[in-house]
């Protein structure tokens, strides 16, 4: 179906749902909604292969309605190598084949809407999979290239560059930097990953990164979801001119005395454009807060306002 036709149909169905299912203002419907989070892999198996899928969710939509659910929040259902349960996204516009197809996702969203259930997708803006085409291109490109500017590549410390740029500790375990190997086989730059090495962090100072995520939101909102949930990328850059972090065993990924972060709960489709001052940086989905007073520099995250539905 052409995008314009799909968008018109979805908008019409959403207006009908808003008129018949929920009374009052629609701008902040999620504040009083019952939202049920679904991890597709374990929720329900619809085709008998032992893995939960979209077919299984579709078979249980009336069950969710009878529970009084107003919206379903899907954890990442995109194509992924599953280094982190789907939060390592290889392609934001493709449903993982283990769960089904894009057409099945569209059908699920439409069927849920007919039952008065909205759909919320989980967007992962902090990082992508190391199997994503962007990161593969970055590894093949030279230092300082546009491909690498989408991520946080830095030279190492020490005479041979064999020391990590910082001593930040991963939100999971281990280090937050992995050294690359250049095409000629020699050790190369290091890249930042606050989670697993298979999840390179994105650089939100990059125009490419911001445009891509706005496009991803438009892609999905054109198919009917009423919002997106995400942990915003915040305060995870270190300028090359800043001093290195001291060695520390503290379970923190970044340190700063003050930092600017963006409130980006996007259940309504539009993140807040107002930066807020916080005493430290949030470093993970768990919302852990780092200590302050370190010489490390935390670059403020800039908020963007995608052109998406607000209801």
Residue 8 lies in a domain: yes
Q: What is the mean pLDDT of residues 82-102?
A: 96
Same domain, 84 and 179: no
- pLDDT score, position 93: 96
Residue 77: domain span: 3-122
Tokens representing residue 301 in the block: 């995250």
- pLDDT score, position 4: 60
Same domain, 48 and 152: no
Residue 310 lies in a domain: no
pLDDT tens track for 41-81: 999 999 999 999 999 999 999 999 999 999 999 999 999 99
Q: In the chain, pLDDT over 90 holds for what percent of residues?
A: 57
Whole-prediction pTM value?
0.70
What CATH number is associated with residue 150? 3.90.400.10
Residue 115 lies in a domain: yes
Answer for the pair 234, 303: CB distance below 8 angstroms, yes or no. no
pLDDT at 307 over 90: no
> What does residue 30 show for φ and ψ, rounded to 5 degrees?
-70, -15
Residue 139 lies in a domain: yes
pLDDT level of residue 174 (50, 70, 90 thresholds): confident
User: If you average pLDDT over every residue of the chain, what do you get?
Assistant: 75
Other C-beta atoms within 10 Å of 96: how many? 23
pLDDT tens track for 132-148: 999 999 999 999 999 99
Based on C-alpha coordinates, what's the Rg of the chain? 21
- pLDDT score, position 229: 56
Give the residue from 122, 154, 177 where a domain finishes: 122
Answer for the pair 83, 199: CB distance below 8 angstroms, yes or no. yes
Same domain, 49 and 109: yes
Question: Phi-psi category of 42—alpha, beta or left, where left has phi over 0 and alpha has psi -120 to 50?
Answer: alpha
- Burial class of residue 309 in the structure, from the number of CB atoms within 10 Å of its CB (0-12 exposed, 13-18 middle, 19+ buried): buried
Same domain, 18 and 93: yes
Q: What is the mean pLDDT of residues 202-226?
A: 90
Give the residue from 87, 122, 157 where a domain finishes: 122
3-class SS of residue 136 = helix
| Domains contained in the chain, number | 2
Other C-beta atoms within 10 Å of 192: how many? 25
pLDDT tens track for 9-19: 545 544 454 44
Question: Phi-psi category of 235—alpha, beta or left, where left has phi over 0 and alpha has psi -120 to 50?
Answer: left
Q: Where are the beta strands (DSSP E) in 6-52?
A: 35-38
Angle at 292 between CA 286 and CA 296, to 5 degrees: 100
Tokens representing residue 57 in the block: 């969710």
DSSP codes joined into one string, 162-221: -B-S--PBPSSSSBSEEEEE-TTSSEEEEEE-SS-TTSPBB-TT-HHHHHHHHHHHHHHH
Residue 171 lies in a domain: yes
CB within 8 A of 221, min separation 6: which ones? 269, 308, 309
Tokens representing residue 244 in the block: 């290195």
């Amino acid at each position: 179906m052409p995008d314009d036709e799909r968008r018109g149909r979805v908008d019409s169905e959403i207006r009908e749902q808003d008129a018949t299912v929920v009374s009052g203002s629609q701008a902040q419907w999620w504040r009083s909604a019952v939202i049920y989070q679904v991890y597709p892999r374990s929720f329900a198996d619809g085709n008998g292969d032992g893995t939960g899928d979209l077919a299984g969710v579709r078979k249980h939509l009336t069950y969710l309605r009878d529970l009084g659910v107003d919206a379903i929040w899907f954890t990442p259902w995109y194509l992924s190598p599953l280094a982190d349960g789907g939060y390592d996204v290889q392609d934001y516009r493709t449903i993982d084949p283990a769960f089904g197809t894009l057409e099945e996702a569209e059908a699920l969203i439409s069927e849920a809407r007919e039952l008065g259930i909205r759909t919320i997708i989980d967007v992962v803006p902090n990082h992508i999979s190391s199997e994503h085409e962007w990161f593969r291109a970055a590894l093949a490109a030279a230092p300082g290239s546009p491909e690498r500017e989408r991520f946080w590549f830095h030279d190492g410390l020490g005479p041979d560059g064999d020391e990590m740029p910082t001593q930040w500790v991963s939100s999971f375990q281990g280090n937050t930097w992995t050294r690359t190997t250049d095409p000629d086989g020699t050790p190369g730059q290091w890249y930042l990953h606050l989670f697993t090495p298979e999840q390179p962090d994105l650089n939100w100072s990059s125009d490419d990164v911001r445009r891509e995520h706005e496009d991803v939101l438009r892609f999905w909102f054109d198919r009917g979801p009423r919002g997106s949930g995400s942990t915003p990328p915040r305060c995870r850059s270190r300028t090359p001119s800043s001093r290195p972090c001291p060695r520390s065993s503290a379970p923190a990924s970044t340190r700063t005395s003050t930092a600017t972060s963006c409130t980006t709960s996007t259940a309504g489709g539009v993140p807040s454009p107002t930066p807020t001052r916080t005493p430290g940086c949030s470093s993970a989905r768990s919302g852990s807060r780092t200590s302050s007073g370190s010489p490390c520099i935390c670059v403020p995250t800039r908020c963007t306002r995608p052109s998406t539905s607000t209801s």
